[in-house]
Amino acid sequence: MNAELRWGILATGWIADLFVQDLQLAGHRVSAVGSRTQAGADKFANRFSIPNAHASYQDLLSDPEVDIIYVATPHPMHADNAVKALTAGKHVLIEKPFTINAREARKVVDLASTKNLVVMEGMWTRFLPHMVRIREIIASGVLGTIYSVIADHTRDLPGDPNHRLNALELGGGALLDLAIYPISFAFDVLGEPEHIVSMARIKETGVDAEVATIFRHAGGAMSTTISSLDNTGRNVASILGTEGRVEIASTWYSPTSFRHIAKNDRVIEEYSSSVAGRGMQYEAAEMERLVTAGKLSGEIMPAKETVSIMQSLDTIRAQIGLRYPNE
């Protein structure tokens, strides 16, 4: 944590609420919030004792007491919000998914590079302690050659046709809200896929209610994911290697436990997370580390990989026939 860096929160919805709780829990400095109305900004600022409340996003971006902007608007607005923040000279953490498509993602990443500013996708799961430990295990080579990654993200979410999750024009559906987690996980462990096969079940509103993917990665490794927004499963994940495996307990993308098991089924390690709050403070700490170090991208969630993930999501959407009206 760098107490000198000041956060500005762009939008005041549910995810912004959770993020600020974790920021303040970990001692990060939140200096401003911007909303579409003064009343909305004041309400949020009063809740969290934030000193500056702005009646527009542009006023927030013009605030000289803000160093880093957290973009918490609906998915289709991410790219525009990020471009304006970068143009205003702010570093930017964008709530996942980074953008609606790869074209937007490249535009944002290229602009950040030109401006010498940090832009990062807020895929908070990657920064959690149990994921850090799992990467250490993988890097040690004790799992042998990894050939399989399996993960699901299934939830029973609101079915109201007017809800954001069910609105095509707001980027609703399982892919961008839920599948982004296991797909990003597959990238993290096995790298960019060489071949993608996907299928989906589409709701009456036009969004994907359920999406399944099979990726083939370098060396013949495979990853499989299934995500849905109208039924709940175990929400577990596994990494399978020739010398052992990692089994991540439910809910695998939140602070949780895992077991490292040898190929003879002997338990090598049992790990359990102890995390204050939801755990979003870890991505904030990484963002501040990059800014302080003068680095434009990190190793945990590189901007280049974010663009590759968005490109894979574009491929999946082409296969399942899903197109957002604002593209």
What are the pLDDT digits (tens) for 250-284? 999 999 999 999 999 999 999 998 899 999 999 99
DSSP 175: I
Do 52 and 160 belong together in one domain?
no
Indicate the pLDDT class of residue 317, thresholds 50, 70 and 90.
Answer: very high
Q: What predicted TM-score, i.e. pTM, was given to this entire model?
A: 0.96
Do 89 and 133 belong together in one domain?
no
- Residue 13 sits in a domain of what CATH number? 3.40.50.720
Kindly provide the residue ranges of all beta strands, DSSP E only, lying in 112-266, ordered along the sequence. 119-122, 146-154, 195-202, 208-216, 222-228, 237-241, 244-248, 257-262
Do 19 and 142 belong together in one domain?
no
Which pLDDT tens digit goes with each residue over 277-307?
999 999 999 999 999 999 999 999 999 999 9
Question: Is 303 within a domain?
Answer: no
Do 103 and 134 belong together in one domain?
no
- Under a CB-based contact definition with an 8 Å cutoff, are residues 147 and 220 in contact? yes
Question: Is 118 within a domain?
Answer: yes
**What pLDDT shows up at residue 289?**
97
* Number of folded domains that form the chain: 2
| Mean per-residue pLDDT over the chain, rounded | 97
- Under a CB-based contact definition with an 8 Å cutoff, are residues 224 and 153 in contact? no
Do 256 and 136 belong together in one domain?
yes
**What pLDDT shows up at residue 2?**
67
- Residue 249: which domain range? 129-274+309-320
- Residue 200 sits in a domain of what CATH number? 3.30.360.10
Do 97 and 163 belong together in one domain?
no
Task: Give percent of the chain above pLDDT 90.
Answer: 98
Question: Is 191 within a domain?
Answer: yes
Do 234 and 157 belong together in one domain?
yes
**What pLDDT shows up at residue 327?**
83
Indicate the pLDDT class of residue 321, thresholds 50, 70 and 90.
Answer: very high
Do 104 and 10 belong together in one domain?
yes
Which pLDDT tens digit goes with each residue over 12-59?
999 999 999 999 999 999 999 999 999 999 999 999 999 999 999 999
Do 89 and 227 belong together in one domain?
no
